[in-house]
Amino acid sequence: MPYDDIVLEAEDKMEKAVAVLADELRGVRTGRASAAIVDGLKVEAYGISNPLKSLASITVPEPRMILVKPFDPGTIEAIVKAVQKSEIGLTPQSDGKIIRLAVPPLSEERRKQMAKLVKENGEKAKVSLRNIRREANGTADSEEKGKELTEDDAQRTKDEIDRLIKEYEAKVQDSVDKKTKEIMEV
């Protein structure tokens, strides 16, 4: 595998790891209502597990309220159960047509728990990035041993991978810092 392919593959995987982190952070409560808090919830309806966003429209009419309007009123009970079983900490109120989720302000203790969760997610992403680096460096070493890469190209590959890991770890840290700041704001 040529030098460019190893670097491009590693960069692609790192980009995906950062995207996964961004998705995880979107669902973390900050004290303000956001459709992202609930849109990924899995709801048991029609005999299978569906994401909530495929069963209902989710809107945020005011800063502390999320409205969930099912496309099929028959799924209201299943949606209510899914919200109650989830760990988002919201209590659903249903009138038979619409489910209202009041988002209470976070207590200081809960804010710290959420910030800790964000930090843990960031660390998982960094571990993932390091695993990608190890895999790419291993590929470069094996290509060098197989005489498909010169020693200089193998070293250049490792240097480029190191540059990428610094860049993507900075992106992860930036995302974690922004989300933590958002959580800790009163």
pLDDT in tens, 36-52: 777 778 888 888 888 88
CA distance 55 to 78: 10
Domains delineated in the chain: 3-26+107-184 (1.10.132.20), 35-102 (3.30.1360.40)
Q: Does residue 86 carry a pLDDT above 90? A: no
Phi/psi-derived region of residue 47, left when phi > 0, alpha when psi is between -120 and 50, beta in every other case: left
pLDDT class of 22 with cuts at 50, 70, 90: confident
Amino acid at 164: L
Give pLDDT, residue 133. Answer: 92
Q: Calculate mean pLDDT across residues 12-32.
A: 82
pLDDT class of 112 with cuts at 50, 70, 90: confident
pLDDT class of 31 with cuts at 50, 70, 90: low
pLDDT class of 63 with cuts at 50, 70, 90: confident
Q: Does residue 150 carry a pLDDT above 80? A: yes
Contact 128, 17 (CB under 8 A): yes
By percentage, how much of the chain surpasses pLDDT 70? 97
Q: Calculate mean pLDDT across residues 3-14.
A: 86
Q: Does residue 167 carry a pLDDT above 90? A: yes
Give pLDDT, residue 29. Answer: 65
φ/ψ of 91, rounded to 5, equals -105, 120
Mean pLDDT of the chain: 85
On the CB side of 60, CA atoms within 13 Å amount to: 11
Give pLDDT, residue 165. Answer: 93
pTM of the model: 0.69
Q: Calculate mean pLDDT across residues 115-123.
A: 90
Q: Does residue 80 carry a pLDDT above 90? A: no
Give pLDDT, residue 125. Answer: 93
CA distance 18 to 171: 8
